[in-house]
Structure 1
Amino acid sequence: MSDISDAKLEEYRSRGYSDDLLPKQESDRTWGQLNYFTLWQGSVHNVPNYVAVGGFFVLGLSTVSIMAAIIISGLIIAGAMVLNGAAGSKYGVPFSMLLRASYGVRGALLPGVLRGGVAAIMWFGLQNYAGSIALLIIIGKIWPGFLAIGGDTEFLGISMPGLIAFMMFWAINMVIGLGGGKILNKFTAVLNPCIYLVFGGMAIWAVSLAGFENIINYVPAKIQDGGGSLFQFFVVINAIVAVWAAPAVSASDFTQNAKSFGAQARGQTSGLILAYLLFAISSVCVLAGASIHYGTDTWNVLDIINKWDGMFVSMFAGLVILMTTISTNATGNIIPAGYQVAAVFPKLNYRQGVMIAGFISVIICPWKLMENQESIFMFLNIIGGILGPVIGVMLAHYFVAMRGKIDLDTLYTKPGDYKYYKNGFNMLAFVVTIISVIVSIGGEFIPFLSVLSQVSWFTGVALSFTLYSLAVTWDKERHPELYTHTQ
């Protein structure tokens, strides 16, 4: 772990950087292994992930294959989070500033804005709307008359009860986001036992009704032709891992708080592996068991709990599922967005960045965006296809080019002084990123690349890491001064 002096922090403040963007001193890095163990649990157990598992059944994979793919994905995700969070845990620097090391002071703005300013804000709005639908169902169970408020009146395409539920859920998410890591840790500490209770209980319920042997042998009514192949197995792993492309890029937003690299490495690894082990068992058992029991393929856990007779049990399960959505939204969306807005406008602090990001997430009317889901997810897949190569470049730059060392003065430079990289752009990183993006998502438009696009995250990360590692090794011989400004 590298510490920084008070004098150096004052120098960086004089250059116009807010305290939220400054490197954290060793005394302020208080997150231990338990904090990181609990951090991502809610991000694993949420409604979209369970729906995705239903899609894996349709691909023709067996229940055992799906479980194996989920567990392997957990190992890969843990590796990506730990490795790309290494610089954050060493220097106490957030992602938006760390990105400058590999792309340059000005060059960092583009991938940073795409991750924290576009993908995160858009996903924040969409997740809030998806969560508000579930909240509306729960409120309707308790107070049926609530659903009739406003009659047929609509505001910008959403009913009055829908708008109230959306703003309620948005406000809860904003409170967690404004509180940052400290509030999030307290929230996840309460959430985690509930996750194991609800999803573990649902798995036991499903097995008791359908029988474990029937669940293992379960085959859905509709299966995609040609499914069940080894390649489809890797497509499933890619689909699970690709969901984490954005959080993995900005892992240092959370590892900057770590007591040590070991604390975040052990915590994230054990937490994600255990979470995905439970998810592998519970998702397959719950979805397959419920489908067998109800006689129809059921992929949404909210549909399942809505069929339960017990009011208290269904309400409790619904609230826990809503809490997992909040946890996902905080860790993956609003916190990175807050830091990125502050990085683009250094005079703003993190909380102001969160408020701006939250306001934008409302005015884009996410309920209107969800009317055309195909275009939304194509756009978000493109963003994900860009972020995979960004991870590869960041890892190659930190571990291969700089040998795990960063000069903080090059990150917290004076306005207009770009240290190294001409005009503040690392063109080598941009060229490698562009090539990798074309290859990883080009299959959407170029038929002979379609196989690579089906495993786009792996393609993007592996290709960009390899190309950048080779390129900087060659570039070091020509411009050694670019790689000696380390501390």
Structure 2
Amino acid sequence: MLEDNQKPLKNSKYKGYQADLLPKTKRQQTWGTFNYFTLWMGSVHNVPNYVAVGGFFFLGIAPQYIMLAIFFSSILIAGMMIFNGKAGSKYGIPFAMSLRASYGEKGALIPGILRGCIAAIMWYGLQTYTGSLALLILIGKIWPTFLSLGGDFQFLGITMPGLIAFTIFWSLNLMIGLGGGAILNKFTALLNPLIYVLFGGMTIWALNIGGGLSEILAYIPQQISKEYAPLIIFFMIINANLAVWAAPGVSASDFTQHAKSFKSQAFGQFAGLVLSYGLFAFSSVTILAGASIHYGVDTWNILDIVTKWDHLAATAFATLVLLLTTISTNATGNIIPAGYQLAATFPKKISYKQGVLIASIISFLICPWKLMENQASIYTFLEIIGGILGPVLGVMLAHYFVAIKQTLVLDKLYVTKGTTGYYQSGINWLALSITFVSTVLSFTGKIIPSLSILSGFSWMIGSVSAFVLYSFSILIFKSSTNIRRK
């Protein structure tokens, strides 16, 4: 870690790197426990997560076990974020540089682009489109004729009102992304009280209209799948929740680089995630089950519930909070990582803000509303990204804690003219090889039809196998890893 008495980052000895990628000084590491406690709350209570809980109901498991599986997964998610962010809090480095420590200067490009560019930008677009649907509901409640603007006009499958709502919401996301972590921290501090007012109120409402907690816990959807045993479904839910956090888990250092200490980020993230997910587990199950009982039809999307309300003020408040939580989720999980990764991929040409702008433009051009037309394609995309990023996480954890024993040499990490990095070729071939092998293992259920049940555990298989294989290889074949330690 750099000390306070060193030169400002713009005069850093690591020439050729944008300031956003350089190690943060002690003075720049200002985030305390409360900052991390509030960081992820908006990312938990969002529209896609509620839709996912609706999918858990469809699997045929009892509501109380859905709650328990979600809560248990929060402990694992917190552990993933804390420990993969340890290098960030210790050395003040972002994800792009932490990834380089594991894969090498050149080797990091492949997993970095997969996480910071492809996964982040795709999710960026999808989250923005989901949020724009909520904005469309709000505008339609206030200005009903807005929904008929343009008549039958469509732009690549989206109506004129939908396109306007998407553009407005896309612009809001872009502004928060350009502000970076500092703006995000202030944003989440204002948002979190509103989250608990909304979802606390909706939970009480659902308990009343659903006949009480006993009726909600006894709720059985009209259509359920009986393909798997309850215990298998329980762990499939845990895997699904972990897979949702596969991308933020890999890039945890983008946020822990600002931490005052490891203790502050560890305690803050653990308390924040476990508390948020504990409340989310109860509120999401209660709201969706209560609404389904009341309306007499399975209701999986919280936007469908809000749309049915006749009270304009309640609808407006709920929609506004959902919009803000989507922005928070997008910024923490997609926009900021994409900006940093693009800056790391082209360190001499692109800054963080330029990376955010490029990622934002691409997220618009991919027409994310087209991806939402086919639900199966979304789940396939998530399975692929989760199956790939799980092994990346496993390798990063094994490398930092087993291979280099939590010790980085910044002069080898920030390769400049006349210096050499950790790896002779700029690539850690062992890390890339094990990432590939573990990725294949994570997709075993897709490759071998008779083992299709394993598809529900792709993230677990990929991350665990990568960690075990890499750790074993380091311990047994240490001399052949070409890691330069001095």
Q: Does residue 75 in structure 1 map to residue 104 in structure 2?
A: no
1:148 positional shift: 2.4
Q: Structure 1's 10 and 354: CA in aligned 2 closer, same or farther, altered over 3 A?
A: closer
Deviations, residues 237-260 of structure 1 (Å, cap 9, x unaligned) = 101111000000000000000000
**How far did 1:14 drift?**
5.5
449-458 or 197-206, which moves further after superposition? 449-458
Partner of 2:218: 217
Q: 2:289 corresponds to which residue?
A: 288
Change (3 A) 1:3 1:378: farther
2:43: which partner in 1?
43
**CA-CA distance at 1:317 after TM superposition:** 0.8
2: CA distance, partners of 1:400 / 1:361: 37
Letter in structure 1 aligned against 2:174:
M
Out of 396-405 and 14-23, give the one that drifted further.
14-23
**8 Å Cα contact 1:401/1:483 also seen in 2:** no
Query: How far off is 1:444 after superposition?
Result: 1.0
C-alpha separation in 1, matches of 2:55 and 2:155: 34
Q: Give the 3 Å change call, closer, same or farther, for CA 432–12 of structure 1 in structure 2.
A: farther
* Greater Cα offset, 307-316 or 135-144: 307-316
Aligned CA distance change for structure 1 residues 344 and 61 (closer, same or farther; 3 Å): same
- Paired-residue identity, %: 61
For residues 325-358 of structure 1, what are the alpha-carbon distances to aligned partners after superposition, in whole Å with 9 as ceiling and x for unaligned? 1111100001000000100110221111101111
Which residue number in structure 2 is paired with residue 255 of structure 1?
256
| 1:290-309 aligned within 5 A | 290-309=291-310
Query: What is the root-mean-square deviation of aligned Cα atoms in Å?
Result: 1.8
Where in structure 1 do 4 or more consecutive aligned residues deviate above 6 Å? none
Partner Cα separation in structure 2 for residue 165 and residue 478 of structure 1 = 55
Rounded to whole Å, the distance in 1 between the matches of 2:282 and 2:124 is 28
Matches within 5 A, 1:226-241: 226-241=227-242
**Which residue of structure 2 lines up, in the alignment, with residue 130 of structure 1?**
130
Offset of residue 144 of structure 1: 1.2
Q: How many Å separate the matches in 2 of 1:351 and 1:145?
A: 37
Q: More displaced, 459-468 or 11-20?
A: 11-20
Which amino acid is 1:214 matched to?
Answer: E
Amino acid at match of 1:249: V
Task: Verify the 8 A CA contact 1:291 1:297 in the aligned structure 2.
Answer: yes
**What displacement does 1:7 show?**
5.3
The answer to whether 1:439 aligns with 2:438 is no
The yes-or-no answer on 1:100 pairing with 2:100 is yes
Consecutive unaligned residues of structure 1, counting only runs of 5 or more, are none
CA contact (8 A) 1:439 1:449 kept: no
Quote how far apart the aligned CAs of 1:105 are: 0.4
- Which residue of 2 is the match for residue 177 of structure 1? 177
1:56 matched to 2:56? The reply is yes
1:236 to partner: Cα distance: 0.9
Question: For residues 412 and 107 of structure 1, what CA distance do their matches in structure 2 show?
Answer: 14
Say whether the 8 Å CA contact 2:2–2:24 is kept in structure 1: no
Which residue number corresponds to residue 188 of structure 1? 188
2:425 counterpart of 1:452:
no
Distance 1:166 1:476 in 2: 52
Distance 2:470 2:92 in 1: 25
1:291-311 alpha-carbon deviations (Å, 9 max, x no partner): 111111111111112222211
Question: Which runs of no fewer than 5 residues in structure 2 stay unpaired?
Answer: none
Distance 1:452 1:418, change over 3 A: farther
Aligned length: 484
1:403 counterpart residue number: 405
Letter paired with 2:57: F
CA distance in 1, matches of 2:58, 2:147: 34
Residue matched to 2:205:
205
Aligned residue identity for 1:127: Q
Residues 414, 421 of structure 2: 8 Å contact kept: no
Distance in 2 (alpha carbons) for counterparts of 1:272 and 1:26: 26
Q: Is the 8 A contact 2:239 2:457 kept in 1?
A: yes
CA contact (8 A) 1:71 1:273 kept: yes
Aligned mates of 2:363, 2:347 — CA distance in 1: 21
Which residue does 1:242 correspond to in 2? 243
Give the Cα–Cα distance (whole angstroms) in 1 for the partners of residues 425 and 450 of structure 2: 37
Q: Which range is displaced more, 199-208 or 257-266?
A: 199-208
